[in-house]
Structure 1
Amino acid sequence: MPQAGLPARRAAVFLLDQVLGEGRLLSEAIGGGALERLDPADRATAQRLATETLRGLERIDRILQKHLQKYPPITVRNALRIGAYELCIGGAAHGVVNSFVEIVSRSKRHGSMKGLVNAVLRKVAANGAEVYPTLRTPRLPKWLRGPLVEAYSPEIVAAIEEAHFAGAPLDLTAKSDQGALQRATEGALLPTGSVRLKEAGQVSMLPGFKKGTWWVQDAAAAIPVQVLAPKEGEAVLELCAAPGGKTMQIAASGAKVRAVDTSESRMARVAENLKRTKLEADLVVGDALAEEGQWDAILLDAPCSATGTIRRHPDLPHAKDGSDFFDLFNLQAQMLDHAVHLLKPGGRLVYCTCSLLPDEGEAQVEELLERHEGLRVDAEALDIEGIDPAWRSEEGGLRLRPDYWSDQGGMDGFYIVCIRKD
């Protein structure tokens, strides 16, 4: 009979190997089927251990450095990292140490290092829980921290890193009545209308899930559709629609929405959520650049670096290195140009990215206006409930950061702008 916790811990080591050794995102590693044989509880534990170890990686490595003369192979190092994380948050030393010694001992390549794992983790168990909270808040890697410091300031980036380390609560968007959702879930009603839960538990067991009265959506991600303000009967095109939170917002307004995305699997999830919420949309698996027609309103949530979502996805700065940024910038510009072409005269386009980089937000809009005549930024579209005037950017858009609402749990980093076509 396997030791309690062993399958989840072994899977967590695998996930860290994929992120830190292979440069894959956690979503890709999990989606590859490697965790399918685990029961749901172990699968959730493995994901949590991998996620939280990545979140505190700098602190964990500092603690381990004191007990290592040289770094062991990546798999052994990752076993030490996860074990150290568990010990630093108060895990029972006996069970944690024995599990990771067992995991390493079963490795054909690294079995001889079980003694090292045992010795190092026992030293961490002695005082790791006391040392861990006193260490510096983990910083972003240099490839990302540098551009953000240049765009904002060292102080702002430090505040963003604090928000990343704190993690993210669960935000819900109501289909129609956010007050009823707030009362049913006993969550907090945020200024922009989202309902926030600090301790959500199993999402599918929350009140209203089966009836489809809400969906999971970060509060910042819910703002672009509020800026778009779709109206009943309007023809709305949504480009890059998955995972579908914005699709459901548009559909709930009564507008006729065509939602386009290249990912068949992600669009299948959108279809499931539409069915659960009893909402309708025309779903298309295809290339946004191949879309045709003329539309009253368009929402373009463009492919981006996703650097605004690190508080929920701490694997991102470790799995990426910024080498694909310029390709993303070019793709965003192409999609903006195409969206403008599809917009009816008098129509509106909301462009957004879940990025902290101005190159994917403010700069894209400035360059778009230089390339096209007859376009203007509609700053008045941002006059919606809960928007702090300090969030507005010079060119008329909205710049959201993870350190905003820090006393309430923060928000994803986003850029949002409304463009009008004369």
Structure 2
Amino acid sequence: MVVSEGETGQGSRPKRKTPATIEVEGKPGLEARRTAARLLGAVIDAHTPLDALTDNEHGHPQYLALEPRDRALVRAILASALRHRCTIEKLIGRRLDRPLPPNAHSLSHILHVGAAQILFLDVPDSAAVDLAVTQAKTDPRAARFSNLVNAVLRNIARRKHELAKALETTQDAPAWFAGRLKEIYGREETDTILKAHRVEAPIDFTVKSDPALWAERLGGRVLPNGSVRLDRLSASVPDLPGFSEGAWWVQDAAATLPARLLGDIEGLWVADLCAAPGGKTAQLALEGAKVTAVDLSASRLKRLKSNLDRLSLSAEIVRADVLKWEPERKFDAVLLDAPCSSTGTVRRHPDVPWTKTPEDVAKLADLQRRLLAHALTLIHPSGMVVFSNCSLDPSEGEELVQELLAKRSDVAVDPILPEELPGAEHFVTAEGFLRTTPALTGAEGQLDNIDGFFAARLRLR
């Protein structure tokens, strides 16, 4: 019988560890699974971003205590558990005679971590089941359900053939997110986007020069926009050829497009607002602009400076609240890649739909409105502002810009022309905006399989 976690006697005094208990707790792989379940709970229950939990310097203490190999396993488990959360939930639910109690969080996370390994990772089924059962037995909140964990996971392992049908009939996204996408893009395109979110994104590199050479050295291919793409990494990024000498940096091909909308910026004064970690700053500096990179976060600016130093590129770095920043001079151009819901990057950050809410999207859209209004005060009369973000939601993009234009007669769109973005022409809308999604594909020789992005170019009248 399934009971709530509140009935498991959590308030009792902890028992003294016996030699048998110590032996179980030292079981190889157990701590990695415990960490995965703990971090999954932090994402689902507390809406904590996964990047913060798995940061190799400031991440969760339980994660930082692991060896590098176990950290990699935890990341793989979490990525699979989040990408396929609704599918896993469905397959677990079919094995229960009644739903788990709403507050059986620990038990639920143990089951999801075990199922993710069985269904999506190269982990022996027996190991995934055994470690999940052991974890349940040693968790006071789940100990009474260890037999249930064993039965459910063994049944899932025996009936893996059900996975294909479950994937076909399930949308792996929370209801609010799937519903919002359908409102915007319709059912067919939403299905394509959500299916794309199940697949890990390729790794794109922006190279300082000679993309063909670096495609050969890295074992990738050159994309129509000049980026180099690897479908999968053969080593960690710092160990790849060209990293130490600063020949390239990691940057999704979609993220390279907004900076290109500034045109020829050699010798111009350009402000990069909300600049960290600095991929677009590096682009601007490489094109010969006199760049001022502005961000509020000291730690993120430290990372930006480190990236620029490795690339042998330079920019003025300013720590400031962009909304309050009043520089002494006006700029020829401003690039504002604004903080957003990041719903265009779910392939890389599968926690996003589970850590964000509709209220978050609305709050971020309001922040973007204020940032954009301030950015327009930083250019001289003939200057331009490129506003961009990695959200799929038009309330953070098209609708936001249209609202601004309706209120400000002194601001106009400078329409993006398809010929400005060779290979990415199909991402230019009739209104002269840039809109990409993981679902949009082009003809042969055109850019596709990229993150969701929006960009608009504005000028003062």
Query: When the two structures are superposed, what TM-score results if normalisation uses the length of structure 1?
Result: 0.94
Please say which of residues 196-205 and 378-387 is displaced more in the overlay: 378-387
Please say which of residues 69-78 and 239-248 is displaced more in the overlay: 69-78
Please say which of residues 45-54 and 71-80 is displaced more in the overlay: 71-80
For the pair 1:7 / 2:31, whether they are aligned, the reply is yes
Q: 1:335 aligns with which of 341, 349, 371?
A: 371
Q: 1:305 aligns with which of 341, 344, 352?
A: 341
CA distance in 1, matches of 2:298, 2:147: 47
For the pair 1:23 / 2:64, whether they are aligned, the reply is no
Aligned length: 421
* Aligned amino acid, residue 70 of structure 1: P
CA distance in 2, matches of 1:383, 1:289: 34
C-alpha offsets along residues 295-338 of structure 1, whole Å, 9 cap, x if unaligned?
01100011111111111111111112211222222211111111
Matched position secondary structure for 2:191: helix
CA distance in 2, matches of 1:206, 1:352: 30
C-alpha offsets along residues 331-362 of structure 1, whole Å, 9 cap, x if unaligned?
11111111111111211111001011111111
Aligned-residue sequence identity (percent) comes to: 39
Aligned pairs for 1:183-222 (under 5 A) are 183-201=216-234, 202-222=236-256
Aligned pairs for 1:35-50 (under 5 A) are 35-50=63-78
Matched position secondary structure for 2:188: helix
Q: 1:368 aligns with which of 404, 409, 415?
A: 404
Please say which of residues 334-343 and 20-29 is displaced more in the overlay: 20-29
* Aligned amino acid, residue 193 of structure 1: G
Quote the offset at 1:147 in angstroms: 2.5
CA distance in 2, matches of 1:397, 1:226: 13
Change (3 A) 1:364 1:304: same
* Match of residue 102 from structure 1: 134
Please say which of residues 25-34 and 285-294 is displaced more in the overlay: 25-34
Change (3 A) 1:46 1:230: farther
* Match of residue 86 from structure 2: 58
Task: Judge conservation of contact 1:405–1:411 (CA < 8 Å) in 2.
Answer: no
Q: 2:324 aligns with which of 273, 284, 290?
A: 290
C-alpha offsets along residues 274-294 of structure 1, whole Å, 9 cap, x if unaligned?
111111111222211122230
Matched position secondary structure for 2:454: strand
For the pair 1:393 / 2:432, whether they are aligned, the reply is no
C-alpha offsets along residues 179-232 of structure 1, whole Å, 9 cap, x if unaligned?
222121121211111111111131111110111111111110111111123522
CA distance in 2, matches of 1:318, 1:71: 20
* Match of residue 211 from structure 2: 178
* Aligned amino acid, residue 455 of structure 2: I
Task: Judge conservation of contact 1:227–1:381 (CA < 8 Å) in 2.
Answer: no
* Match of residue 125 from structure 1: 157
* Match of residue 60 from structure 2: 33
For the pair 1:232 / 2:266, whether they are aligned, the reply is yes
Task: Judge conservation of contact 2:204–2:227 (CA < 8 Å) in 1.
Answer: yes
Task: Judge conservation of contact 2:89–2:112 (CA < 8 Å) in 1.
Answer: yes
CA distance in 1, matches of 2:242, 2:124: 37
For the pair 1:114 / 2:141, whether they are aligned, the reply is no
User: Root-mean-square deviation (CA), in Å?
Assistant: 1.9
Matched position secondary structure for 2:265: coil
CA distance in 2, matches of 1:306, 1:346: 31
User: Which has more radius of gyration?
Assistant: 2
CA distance in 2, matches of 1:98, 1:409: 42
* Aligned amino acid, residue 8 of structure 1: A
C-alpha offsets along residues 221-275 of structure 1, whole Å, 9 cap, x if unaligned?
1111111235222111011112211111111111111111122222211111111
Quote the offset at 1:380 in angstroms: 4.3
Structure 1's unaligned 5+ residue stretches are none
* Match of residue 197 from structure 2: 164
Matched position secondary structure for 1:368: helix
Task: Judge conservation of contact 1:172–1:215 (CA < 8 Å) in 2.
Answer: yes
* Aligned amino acid, residue 200 of structure 2: G
C-alpha offsets along residues 43-67 of structure 1, whole Å, 9 cap, x if unaligned?
1211111111110111111111111
* Aligned amino acid, residue 296 of structure 2: T
Task: Judge conservation of contact 1:176–1:252 (CA < 8 Å) in 2.
Answer: no
CA distance in 2, matches of 1:84, 1:409: 32
